[in-house]
Amino acid sequence: MTSQPEARAALVTGGSRGIGLAIARRLAAEGFAITLSARTGDALEAAAAELAETGARVTTVVADASDDGDLARLVTHHEEAWGRLDALVLNAGMGFGSPIDATPLRRVDKHYALNFRGAFALVAAALPLLRATAATGPRGARVIALASLAGLLPEPDLAAYSATKAAVVSLCRSICIEEVATGVSATAICPGYVDTDMAAWKHDVLPATDMIRPDDLAELAVSLTRLSRNAAVPVLPVYRAGGGLTGA
């Protein structure tokens, strides 16, 4: 008798709505067990209930993605629930726009804490489980980080946001280099404007109907989990059709 492959598992931060929930839906449809995390309990439970109705195996953790203690607790919860980590999806983030000389340093600190430091801390905490999982099969394990095209091609008034997303891109490159022997790799998905609440401020010049769809990014994220451990994709830019190099 041929044994069945062990079900894979994913941890998704910022998973209660938007891009994170779209990715969780697609991963669940692929048979992944899911740990969803977000800061707001009610929205998180609603998202989990939606996934559970489709037959998905899902658990939730209310956590602040910039809090070291919360992140350690999140990884522990995931390991206790599923015992493996095939895909770590770093989707929690924030963004405010203002010129450099009009940006309070406390806002810079907040961007750094959530967009980069929290991502770095979660990767560091999750690496032992990612490595152990990667050793069990031909696909390895993946870190999938939602960065931004602004991290590759900065836009005016987005200096703090762009800098922290550029740091996420660099982190993914570093993971690919440091973990090549373990089968763990990372991809920074870098989209232009996506139709989510975070991009609503842009609707006066760019209608939502012209933005990238969250499901587009979910499809890309799932496709990465199908690659063999021999294929690494450190950076994946996603341009808005007709938007030019900035995606705007």
User: Hey, which residues are catalytic here?
Assistant: 161
Q: How many CB atoms lie within 10 A of CB 169?
A: 22
What is the reported pLDDT for 61?
98
Structure tokens at 244: 């030019």
Round to whole Å and give the CA distance between 3 and 108: 51
**What tokens appear for 167 in the block?**
């740091």
Q: How far apart are CA 170 and CA 188, in angstroms?
A: 9
State the pLDDT at residue 211. 83
pLDDT tens by residue, 80-98: 999 999 999 999 999 888 9
Q: Cα–Cα distance between 167 and 179 in angstroms, integer?
A: 18
Sheet holding 9-13, edge to edge: 58-62, 33-38, 9-13, 87-90, 141-146, 184-191, 235-238
Q: Can you give the pLDDT at residue 173?
A: 98
Low-confidence ranges of the chain (pLDDT < 70): 1-6, 196-197, 199-205, 242-248
Q: What is the pLDDT of residue 6?
A: 63
| pLDDT on residue 248 | 42
pLDDT for residue 199: 63
Residue-level pLDDT at 70: 97
Q: What's the pLDDT at 164?
A: 97
Task: Compute the half-sphere exposure of residue 100: CA atoms within 13 Å on the CB side of its CA.
Answer: 6
pLDDT at residue 2, as a whole number: 34
The 3-state DSSP class for residue 110 equals helix
3 state DSSP class of 184: strand
What's the confidence (pLDDT) of residue 5?
A: 47
Q: Which domains does the chain have, with CATH numbers?
A: 9-238 (3.40.50.720)
Residues 6+ apart with CB under 8 A from 232: 176, 180, 185, 186, 187
